[in-house]
Structure 1
Amino acid sequence: MDSRTVALMRTTFKAVAAEEGGPERLARSFYAILFTDHPHIRDLFPAALDAQRDRLVKAIGFVIDRLEEPGALLPFLAQLGRDHRKYGVTAEHYAAVGESLQAALRGYAGTELWTDEVERAWRAGIGLIAETMMSAAEQEDTPPYWTGTVVEHRAVLSNLSVVRVRLDQAMRFAPGQYVSVQIPARPRMWRYLSPATPPTADHEVEFHIRAVSGGWVSPAVVGHTRVGDKWLLGAPMGGLGVPRNTRRKLLMVACGTGIAPLRAQLMAMTQRRSNPKVHLFVGGHHPCDLYDLPALNDLALAHKWLTVVPVVESDENPWWHCESGEPEPAYPGLAERRVGQIGKVVAAAGPWPEHDVQIVGSPSMVQTTKFRLMAAGTPAEHIRHDPLF
């Protein structure tokens, strides 16, 4: 894609998104146009579109920001195309989405900004995106989605559960990747979850899920999942992972259930002959949020290349957390617990300019930690995280 096309697309989108309420209005307009002009497509989407609208705008922004980075963008689009097979999408659907997006952008950009040249630029850009996704989907020989049965649902906290799903057939995924999941209680509502374990011989996948206040899917998983439930899983996505035979030291930073993809990578690394030094900072608001410390302690005790540093923002548990009455367990494999905002703690513990960095958590946590590390001297190209949507 030439620089002029990229500039026109980026300028148009940024102008629309910069208006007050622009991203939300753009998403609402897009779906209104799509479902009016192509009513049969409505059945592919959930009844509630709030999360879908938010993800749409963030996804467009992610793609727009990387139009000049084909090495990063094209693999992401290919993964997205393979994942979208679960919806049963066809070339007709891609064309309908492209036309509706252009119509929505045109409506908000106005005649002064939306010129014939801008129209051609967006048509070319959307065409390249759709072609990349469709080509990857057509070349894929794996199932459009996997089916699995819940074999364990364990409540870890009042709002956090560990769920193990046994797949009906093997899924090839790299530790650190994530998959979309659909549960019986929320049809057509797919949510991204990261496996907390590498692939196993019995095809079992472990997920860590925290119920998000006001969410549709995560509270249903935590509160209503039962052994025997049938789940659907989409194609693996994401670019986190540790190359074999790497000599570069690693810094991993996670908050809450963000520990899952990092934990999966560490478990896979234990099967290798040698590994670089790894520093893992795992954070939570309260000590009870550090729910996976027993497993991390065992990993650190068994493997001297791993250093685990727990971090909490408050050294006391909240009033609503039911204490067991037992003394807090000792974790001899872990570093001393630190108190503070995790991004600040990690940056102060550096410097980390020679480390490859992975950050997993909420979008705000990822961005704050990334900026603090960059300010402390860590090059941006050494820092990785999955798309924040």
Structure 2
Amino acid sequence: MDTEGGVTDRAAARLSAMEIAQLRASFSSITHGSHGPSHLAQLFYAALFSEHPQYRALFPISLEEPARKFTRALEFVVDNLEEPGPMTELLAQLGRDHRKYGITAGHYEAAGSALIAAVRSALSHVLWTPTLDSAWSGLVSLLLTTMRDAADADDLPAAWTATVVGHERRLDDLAIVRLESDQPIPFHAGQYLSVQIPQRPRQWRYLSVAIPPNPYGQIEFHVRRVSGGWVSPAIVNETRVGDRWQLASPLGGLEVDRDNGLDVLMIGSGSGIAPLRAQVMEMAQHGNNPRVHMFVGGRYPRDLYDIEALWELSLSNPWLTVVPVSEEDENPWWHTTPDPEPPPGMHRRLHGRLGRVVAEFGSWADRQVQISGSPSMIKTTVYSLRHGGTPPELIQHDPLV
């Protein structure tokens, strides 16, 4: 990419230590500035639509969700430049996922130019040196080349269609949606899919699959209504049996490594238990598994909406230990359903912040760790675990969900 922002084939040339340092310092300056972490995304969309106004039709009315995903993905990339494996895999997954929009080489070139323009605008207070230009040009080239190459190499459909066959309001603000896809979707337990529902066209959302893949194309999502959200309220309140959903390429890297000899710690909060649930359900189909400690948390006891199913799974699989945790000891006054009693031998519910409770059990330095939940929950839990001695390289969580 030259200094004018045009994309060239500076393929996946390895960035130097100085370039990585400059990228991190400049990116931190943007995301921690007075305009907030989404400032770069806003500038990117402004530059893209100013130069190519026809591209606006590819995006939903509200850009809040795309901006959030854009910022998280870029942050993950910048944080993983020394060890590019996870970063490259995420970019390849995003490239395959973006085929659902009908993206072409021209779109990638326009996006590269817009991103460079956005970075320059955001860093107007910083001297734009040749080294900084080279660093950002190299990163943008790496981003676009990896995504484009993965998309070009994928011969699977850009999206699949599935029919809603079940919709259960497990809580007033949480629904379990079951679908059957027209064709099996090649995902693995622990991944998430990009979905589009008929009530909200062009508004794609990432949802984790709560059951392992099966030959019948059955899929299950656990969806919590987000206050002020565009899509989750429609899924919880308006989805009906017979609705036809669009599902795009699977993403995510949560997976139990059976070869490293380590047992497993899983930490899930609210509907964030879905990818963990799918994995232990799949593990139950095997005869030999590592030990799994699974902490299931929520603010209130009511938020442990699937605890009985997990207890049943634990009763028939002695390698699985399920520990329920709630911040509050009692449900809010308006929730009248009694809490289930744990079966004999099951761990009773503990009280406190999930990450802090887990850290009180020890360092967990001998486990492979997976965390799934809201961004704030993941951040505080990672902090608690690292503070307690858990090596960061053992901790997994997906950057976009």
Give the TM-score normalised by structure 2.
0.93
- Give the counterpart letter for 1:16 in structure 2: I
Residue 110 (structure 1) shift: 2.1
Q: Does 1:2 align with 2:15?
A: yes
Query: Given the alignment of the two structures, is residue 340 of structure 1 paired with residue 348 of structure 2, yes or no?
Result: no
Aligned mate of 2:243, from 211, 220, 229: 229
8 Å Cα contact 2:43/2:122 also seen in 1: no
Q: Give the stretch that moved more between structures: 193-202 or 108-117.
A: 108-117
Aligned length, in residue pairs? 387
2:339 counterpart of 1:331: no
Percent of paired sites with the same residue: 51
Secondary structure in structure 2 of the residue aligned to 1:304 = coil
Q: Is the 8 A contact 2:370 2:395 kept in 1?
A: yes
SS, match of residue 241 in structure 1: coil
- Are 1:188 and 2:195 matched, yes or no? no
| 1:291 pairs with one of 285, 291, 305 | 305
Structure with bigger helix share is 1
Give 5+ residue unaligned stretches, structure 1.
Answer: none
Q: Distance in 2 between matches of 1:8 and 1:287?
A: 46
Q: Is structure 2 residue 288 aligned with structure 1 residue 274?
A: yes
1:16 aligns with: 30
In structure 1, the partner of 2:397 is 385
Residues 106-131 of structure 1: CA distance to partner in whole angstroms, max 9, x if unpaired?
A: 12212742123322322222111111
Q: Which residue of 2 aligns with 1:351?
A: 363
How many Å apart are 1:75 and its aligned residue?
1.1
Aligned residue number for residue 213 of structure 1 = 227
1:81-119 residue CA offsets vs partner (Å, 9 max, x unmatched): 111111111111111111111111112212742123322
| Aligned counterparts of 2:36 and 2:304: Cα–Cα separation in 1 | 38
Distance 1:111 1:119 in 2: 15
Does the CA-based 8 Å contact 2:258-2:290 persist in structure 1?
Answer: no
Aligned-partner Cα distance in 2 for 1:77–1:35: 23
Establish whether residue 56 from structure 1 lines up as the match of residue 85 from structure 2: no
Deviations 1:228-247 (A, max 9, x none): 00101111111111134553
State the Cα distance separating 1:327 from its structure 2 match: 7.2
The SS at the match of 1:314 is coil
- Counterpart for residue 130 of structure 2: 116
Partner of 1:43: 57
The answer on whether the counterparts of 1:294 and 1:331 sit within 8 Å (CA) in structure 2 is: no
Partner SS for 2:155 = coil
Q: Residues 159 and 112 from structure 1, CA distance in 2 versus in 1: closer, same or farther, beyond 3 angstroms?
A: closer
- Cα shift at 1:6: 2.1
Give secondary structure in 2 for the equivalent of 1:259. Answer: helix
Matched-pair contact (CA < 8 Å) for 2:210–2:275: yes
Q: 1:172 to 1:47 in 2, by over 3 A?
A: same
Change (3 A) 1:11 1:254: same
| Matched letter for residue 206 of structure 2 | Y
1:153 maps to which residue? 167
Structure 2 residue runs without a partner (length 5+) = 1-13
Contact 2:301 2:339 in 1 (8 A): no
Higher mean displacement: 243-252 or 223-232: 243-252
1:36 shift after superposition: 1.3
Aligned to 1:168: 182
Cα distance change on mapping 1:114 and 1:200 into 2, 3 Å: same
Say whether residues 1:301 and 2:276 are aligned partners.
no
- For the structure 1 residues 349 and 112, does the alpha-carbon distance in structure 2 shift closer, same or farther, using more than 3 Å as the test? closer
Q: 2:375 aligns with which of 363, 383, 386?
A: 363
Q: Distance in 1 between matches of 2:372 and 2:87?
A: 20
For residues 231-274 of structure 1, what are the alpha-carbon distances to aligned partners after superposition, in whole Å with 9 as ceiling and x for unaligned? 01111111111134553111111100011100100011011120
Aligned to 2:82: 68
Instruction: Please list the CA deviations of residues 124-173 of structure 1 after superposition, one character each: whole Å capped at 9, or x if unmatched.
Output: 22111111111111111211111100000000000000000100001111
Aligned pair partner of 1:80 in 56, 81, 94 = 94
CA RMSD after TM alignment: 1.6
The equivalent residue for 2:213 is: 199
Matched residue, 2:252: 238
Distance 2:52 2:135 in 1: 24
